[in-house]
Amino acid sequence: MHTLLSRFRSWLLAALFFSLCATLPSCLSLNDDDVVVDNTDYAARDEEILQAYIKANNLTAQRQASGLYVVITQPGTGATPTAGQQVSVLYTGTTLDGKVFDSTASRDNKPFSFAIGRGQVIAGWDQGIALLNKGAKATLLIPSGLAYGSRGAGSDIAPNTVLRFDVELTDIK
């Protein structure tokens, strides 16, 4: 009787182990097709939101192929930064309803510095700041896919939120 119980227990553990091995990977995998559809759905939604915002606020914006909109409010001078160059930026970030979530003004107007094209900032910044020259002021209207996407950022930026940044490129090195 003891051997029969031991065999049954071994068989049950083996069956459980193989079932777990067969099903666990499907729980852990992320379907790339779902991500593409999700991003595509939000890109279309973001585009509608941005176009309505631009119209409602009577803005003249340049649309980039990525979906980023740039409104130049004051032209700068000289060349635009290239990948790897260090830039310094004064900025205020808001949601489209005007809620400020970050600003260099709250840090004694000390410019924020980063290297262009190195992925140190959200993609909308890498793309938008690269279009400006020193001294330029602009508004970047950034679709969620070029901002924080489905992750959001803390309690201030919900997932899939379109963002507005008023920026001034103060230096290029």
CA distance 25 to 47: 36
**Is 172 an active-site residue?**
no
Catalytic residue (choose from 42, 116, 122, 142): 122
Q: Distances in Å between the alpha carbon of 79 and those of 22, 44, 87, 127, 173?
A: 57, 33, 12, 15, 11
Determine which one of 42, 46, 102, 129 is catalytic: 102
- Any catalytic annotation for residue 42? no
Catalytic residue status for 112: no
The phi and psi torsions of 67 (rounded to 5 degrees) equal 105, -10
| Closest-CA residue to 74 (of 158, 148, 169, 2) | 169
Active site residue 101: yes
Does the annotation mark 122 as catalytic?
A: yes
Question: Which of the following is catalytic: 91, 142, 157, 172?
Answer: 91
Catalytic residue among 42, 142, 165, 172: 165
* Given the residues 69, 126, 148, 172, the one annotated as active site: 148
Considering 49, 53, 72, 101, which one is annotated as catalytic? 101
Asked whether the beta carbons of 167 and 132 are under 8 A apart, the reply is yes
Is residue 8 among the annotated active site residues?
no
Point out the residues that are catalytic: 91, 101-102, 122, 148, 165
